[in-house]
Structure 1
Amino acid sequence: MSDQCLFCGIVAGEVPSAKVAEDDTTYAFMDINPASDGHLLVVPKRHSKDLLDIGAADLADVTVAAQRIAKAVSKELGADGVNLLNCCGADAWQTVFHFHLHVIPRYVDKTKDRLVLPWRPGVPGDPAAIAALGARLSAAVD
């Protein structure tokens, strides 16, 4: 699939990357458009389009690898925090359609950290609307 997918090409070694870690099922490499110093991506080696497509075992492997790398980012780069981010679908900012987790180190020092929140945490929503959506989702979850 590497001729159709940038990340499959990276995993196959056909597209250059700054590899950070690799195991039997995952590959981690530096993001070429970093939101902060040390921003990297963790992908499954097996292609899946997005969060809705990835198998449970691959999702678990990518998440465990991302946690292991987040620990290294915190210790080695002195990050003050870490965001794990997945974008599922073009309207959710996904630009490469191969599942991936962004591991984004966060720093108090804003010369190292260019990421800003796209919403304002701490602004409460409508409790009735929240409850109604929660009920709908509860009934829809497998």
Structure 2
Amino acid sequence: MTAAYDPQNVFAKILRGEIPAHRVYEDDHTLAFMDVMPQGEGHTLVIPKAPARGLLDASPESLAAVAATVQRVARAVKAAFSADGLTVFQYNEPAGGQTVFHLHVHILPRFEGIPLGRHSGGMADSGMLADHAARIRAVLDVG
């Protein structure tokens, strides 16, 4: 049995404005922001605003909104970083690798010959994250 949604998770706190985030995109149903422990340059997260622990308990409408935002933001991330490709992934429950229990999708720009870094547990430089967010927003504003 899946545990209940915890409204005190870090992403719920970001949605409520209790914790700062380098926001990239927001609409009525989703929020995209920079991962503070990036596995590579431009690592961005997309979350639904509706509470959902993971993929299996999100509503179809929420999943559709997340998918649309993932596509829109992924295009911008790829362009902003002149990436050769993208890796998009999503984890569910501890056994599946999930560590924050609010549905989220990772978008990582990829470059030939450069492996993904690890989620080291260390926080990235805030100035760098702000720069990366600005680069992505600039592409979104044009598109």
Shorter-normalised TM range: 0.7 to 0.9
In the alignment, the residues of structure 1 paired with residue 88 and residue 79 of structure 2 have an alpha-carbon distance, to the nearest angstrom, of: 16
Determine if the alignment matches structure 1 residue 5 to structure 2 residue 9: yes
User: In the TM superposition, what is the alpha-carbon distance from 1:114 to its structure 2 partner?
Assistant: 2.6
Structure 1: unaligned runs, 5 residues or longer: 117-142
Preserved contact between residue 53 and residue 102 of structure 2 (Cα < 8 Å): yes
Matched positions, count: 114
Normalising by structure 1, report the TM-score.
0.75
Match of 1:45 in 2: 49
Residue 77 of structure 2 aligns with which residue?
Answer: 73
Report percent identity of matched pairs: 39
- What residue is the counterpart of 2:61 in the other structure? 57
Gaps of 5+ in 2: 119-143
TM-score (normalizing by structure 2): 0.74
Cα shift at 1:97: 0.3
Question: In the alignment, which residue of structure 2 is the partner of 1:21?
Answer: 25
Note the C-alpha offset of 1:5. 1.5
Match of 2:107 among 103, 108, 122: 103
Q: Cα distance, 1:72 vs. partner?
A: 0.5
C-alpha RMSD over aligned residues: 1.8
Give the deviation of 1:33 after TM superposition. 1.0
The answer to whether the 8 Å contact 2:6/2:101 transfers is: no
Structure with max Cα Rg: 1
